Amino acid sequence: MARVFFMLDEIQKAGSDFDSALASANEVKALADLRVRYFGRKGGLIPALFGQLKDVPKEQKKEVGDALNKLRDRIESALKEKSDRATADESARKTSRDTIDVTLPARMPHLGNLHPITLVRQEMEKIFREMGYSVDPGPEIETDWYNFESLNFTPDHPARDTQDTFFVDVPGMLLRTHTSNVQIRSMEQTKPPLKVISCGRVYRRDEITMRRSPMFHQAEAILVDKGIHIGHMRATLEYFVRKIFGGDPKFRLRPSFFPFTEPSAELDMSCLFCNGNGCGTCSQTGWMEILGCGMVHPQVLRNVAIDPEEWSGFAFGMGIDRVAMLTYDIPNIRTLFENDLRVLQQF
């Protein structure tokens, strides 16, 4: 009798041990280990209990046998149910990890973007191309002849001062101080009529300030044809400046001096920010200086063997950096050359 109670106790204890072992076994592997612990042929608890059945007195065999069968079935089905669930969960997790979701939008590689100076330069070239101009950037390392002498700068002109110009080691060579060198090169290369636009880097020995840099960018255009007068220049410039800045500004030509144009002028436009009423940007004048221009000097034409009695033309030069600063509201020219990605990625 004692043996029977002992067996029934053992069976009950095996049942409750199993319940707590099952509660903490969640992975497929842990559940498989649990199965071995209970059903393993060698040392499995259930087969061991069945082995003890032969020692139970005949009259009790049925009761103990029933209890044992019940325990075996219960453990069997509980293990199966939890293992099936764990297997399904694990494979679902694995699938979601390994599968590509084809409905996700593609992640595009970042290709970079154009620098604000490049954007403005391309826009300027586009406007002039549409008017039939050809594009020629010209060289940045230049001879004294193309940068100064052919453009009528006298040998003692202050612009030739070492304070203003970067000279390179090769005698007579320098970094161009303006894009006007391209005027001469274009007129040498192409017989008139000609229309050329040139955009590129220029260099001057300036201190770096909010608005000045020793390297900056200019756009230059020249047109030579028969019967060209200052009205053609003004119409071309106004058309161009309107296209670049938009809106409907007023213009004025202010007399000025450049050695290579006669007459020379500067083009002002009514301030973009205050519509000509006066503000901080235009120093309360209502006007903004936009570019230098003029009719090509007869001596400059002669320097490239073009007869000023037969041909005339106009030219102008303009800072590209300034246009980029006004267009994109950049107060400091340094911003354009620091290559800070946080800035550049905004364009």
Interface with ligand DAH (CB under 6 A), residue total 11
Looking only at residues 231 through 290 of this chain, which bind ligand DAH when binding is defined by CB under 6 A? 258, 261
18 or 316: CB nearest ligand DAH: 316
Q: Which residue reads 């559940």 in tokens?
A: 31
Residue 146 interacts with ligand DAH (CB under 6 A)?
Answer: no
Looking only at residues 165 through 224 of this chain, which bind ligand DAH when binding is defined by CB under 6 A? 178, 180, 220
Give the residues across from 295 on adjacent strands: 314
Looking only at residues 57 through 96 of this chain, which bind ligand DAH when binding is defined by CB under 6 A? none
75 or 317: CB nearest ligand DAH: 317
Number of residue whose CB is nearest ligand DAH: 317
CA angle, residues 207, 169, 161, in degrees to nearest 5: 45
**Please, what is the minimum distance in Å from the beta carbon of residue 335 to ligand DAH?**
22
Give the residues across from 195 on adjacent strands: 223
Q: Give the residue among 320, 315, 146 at the shortest CA–CA distance from 219.
A: 320
**Please, what is the minimum distance in Å from the beta carbon of residue 250 to ligand DAH?**
21
72 or 204: CB nearest ligand DAH: 204
**Please, what is the minimum distance in Å from the beta carbon of residue 195 to ligand DAH?**
13
**Please, what is the minimum distance in Å from the beta carbon of residue 190 to ligand DAH?**
17
Site string for ligand DAH, 12-41 (x = CB under 6 A): ------------------------------
**Please, what is the minimum distance in Å from the beta carbon of residue 340 to ligand DAH?**
28
Given candidates 294, 301, 312, 322, which one binds ligand DAH under the rule CB under 6 A? 294
Could you tell me if residue 213 is left (phi over 0), alpha (psi between -120 and 50 degrees) or otherwise beta?
beta
**Please, what is the minimum distance in Å from the beta carbon of residue 264 to ligand DAH?**
6
76 or 289: CB nearest ligand DAH: 289
Given candidates 237, 292, 312, 333, which one binds ligand DAH under the rule CB under 6 A? 292
Given candidates 293, 306, 333, 336, which one binds ligand DAH under the rule CB under 6 A? 293
Given candidates 237, 315, 323, 326, which one binds ligand DAH under the rule CB under 6 A? 315
CA angle, residues 264, 266, 268, in degrees to nearest 5: 155
- Long-range CB contacts (< 8 A, 24+ apart) of 251-260? 252/287, 253/293, 256/292, 256/294, 258/292, 258/294, 259/151, 259/152, 259/153, 259/154, 259/157, 259/297, 260/151, 260/152, 260/153, 260/180, 260/183, 260/294, 260/296, 260/297, 260/300, 260/315
Which residue stretch of 10-18, 83-91, 168-176, 311-319 sits at the interface with ligand DAH (rule: CB under 6 A)?
311-319
Residue ranges in contact with ligand DAH by CB under 6 A: 178, 180, 220, 258, 261, 292-294, 315-317
